[in-house]
Amino acid sequence: MSVELKANGLGASELMMYHCGYEECSPGHFYGPAVRDHFLIHYVLNGKGTFHANHSVYTLERGQGFLICPDTITYYAADISDPWAYCWVGFHGLKALQYLEAAHLTQAAPIFSSSDHDYMVHCFEAMLKTMKLKSGRELRLLGILYALLSELIEVSEDSVIQNRNENRSEEYIKTAIRYIEMNYSRKISVTDIAHHIGLDRSYLCHLFKKTLSKSPQKFLIDFRMNKAIELMYNPLLSLGDISRSVGYSDALSFSKTFSKTKGMAPSCYQKSIHK
């Protein structure tokens, strides 16, 4: 079902809604390749399908949607075994591009996911119901379109914040590893690493386990033992020299740690290298 609108000038300079609709597709049903002269948002209610644009193919399912930009060749098709049903809305206006960019939706990045499927469905259902109005139809439809775009902007901002947090976590890990690489020969602890980065010790442990599946203490030990193996290839270095070089003043403690980590005493490992 599709409904076309006749613009009456309400909000025409900022945002105009052209049409909206709903379709439950048959298996393999497709549209295109085609070019539009306005923006078009499709939102998947259930099922699956593919969207082809920018020499890329995107597979979408329930809770996802795609943006078609003006003057862009696109093609989309329903899945053969689980064809999608979707709603759409077409619009344009002087601020249409601005609102879409605020939602991080562009020709180069046309896919979005909604964290509130029910609200998205509510918006599209409200559009279709509003078509029965007579006098205030265009104005109310425009209000619903603003609400829909607002939701896309909100969802996008949540995603950006999450990405920022993930990027910040990665930077913490990289800084910790650099600190270990430069200071493993000294008597450093996990607390020293955490203080260097400016994090709580327990939070640093949480980041390491989440990102690297090991504690910072285990990472430090593994790094030191691997460095010790590298030094064993130098026949001029004794085990005592190697022990001190990787941060152990006590050779016995080094030997116990190496044996536990590598499953072999350091003396045996060194002999195997120089056979």
Alpha-carbon span 168 to 187, nearest angstrom: 27
Which class would CATH give 184-273? Answer: mainly alpha
How confident is the model at residue 157, as a pLDDT? 57
> What proportion of the chain, given as a percentage, has pLDDT over 90?
58
pLDDT, tens digit, 9 for 90 and up, residues 206-242: 999 988 999 999 999 999 999 999 999 998 899 999 9
Query: What CA–CA distance (Å, rounded) separates 259 from 253?
Result: 10
Q: Where in the chain is the domain with CATH 2.60.120.280?
A: 2-160
Which one has a higher pLDDT value, 136 or 233?
233
Residue ranges, CATH 1.10.10.60, the chain? 184-273
- Whether residue 171 is predicted with pLDDT greater than 90 in this model: the reply is no
- Residue 7: the pLDDT is 42
Q: 2-160 maps to which CATH number?
A: 2.60.120.280
pLDDT score of 6: 45
Does the pLDDT of residue 11 top 80, yes or no?
no
Q: Which residues pair with 259 in a beta bridge?
A: none
Residue from 194, 103, 86, 187 nearest 151 by CA: 103
pLDDT mean over 100-119: 88
pLDDT value of position 126: 93
Residue where the block lists tokens 């009456």: 8
Please give the mean pLDDT across all residues of the chain. 87
Structure token digits, residue 85: 């049903």
Residue pLDDT, tens place only, 141-163: 889 999 999 989 887 755 554 55
pLDDT, greater one: 167 or 222: 222
Q: What gap in Å lies between CA 39 and CA 105, rounded to an integer? A: 11
